Amino acid sequence: MSDPLRLGIAGLGTVGTGVVKIIRQKAALLEDRAGRPVTITAVSARTRDKDRGVNLADYAWEDDPVALATRDDVDVFVELMGGSDGPAKAATEAALKAGKDVVTANKAMLAHHGQALAELAEAQGRVIRYEAAVAGGIPVIKSLMEGLAGNEITRVMGVMNGTCNYILTRMQATGQGYNALFEEADKLGYLEADPNLDVGGIDAGHKLAILSSIAFGTQVDFDAVELEGIQSITLEDINHAADMGYRIKLLGVAQLTGRGLEQRMSPCLVPASSPLGQLEGGTNMCVLEGDMVEQIVLRGPGAGEGPTASAVMGDVMDIARDLRLPTFGAPANKLEKAKPARAVTPAPYYLRMALDDKPGALAKVATVLGEAGISIDRMRQYRHDNSTAPVLVVTHKTTRSALDTALEAMSKLDVMATSPVALRIETV
Cα 250 to Cα 116: distance, rounded to the nearest angstrom: 29
Q: Which residue from 44, 39, 43, 42 is spatially nearest to 6, judged by alpha carbons? A: 39
Cα 167 to Cα 199: distance, rounded to the nearest angstrom: 9
Amino acid sitting at position 100: K
Q: Is 252 in contact with 158 (CB distance < 8 Å)?
A: yes
Which one of the listed residues 89, 100, 142, 207 is annotated catalytic? 207
Q: Which residue from 54, 114, 52 is spatially nearest to 84, judged by alpha carbons? A: 114
Torsion of CA 252, 255, 261, 265, to 10 degrees: -10
Residue 187 CA: distances (Å) to CA of 42, 105, 180, 181, 402: 34, 24, 11, 10, 41
Q: Is 199 in contact with 229 (CB distance < 8 Å)?
A: yes
Q: Which residue from 106, 200, 121 is spatially nearest to 161, judged by alpha carbons? A: 200
Burial class (CB in 10 A: 0-12, 13-18, 19+), 91: buried
User: In the chain, what is the straight-line distance between the N-terminal and C-terminal CA atoms, in Å?
Assistant: 50
Residue 116 Ramachandran class (φ > 0 left, ψ -120 to 50 alpha, else beta)? alpha
Q: Which residues contact 125 (CB under 8 A, 6 or more apart)?
A: 99
Angle at 278 between CA 256 and CA 211, to 5 degrees: 25
| 358 included as an active-site residue | no
Angle at 14 between CA 13 and CA 20, to 5 degrees: 85
Cα 49 to Cα 295: distance, rounded to the nearest angstrom: 48
Cα 103 to Cα 129: distance, rounded to the nearest angstrom: 5
User: Which residues have a catalytic role annotated?
Assistant: 207
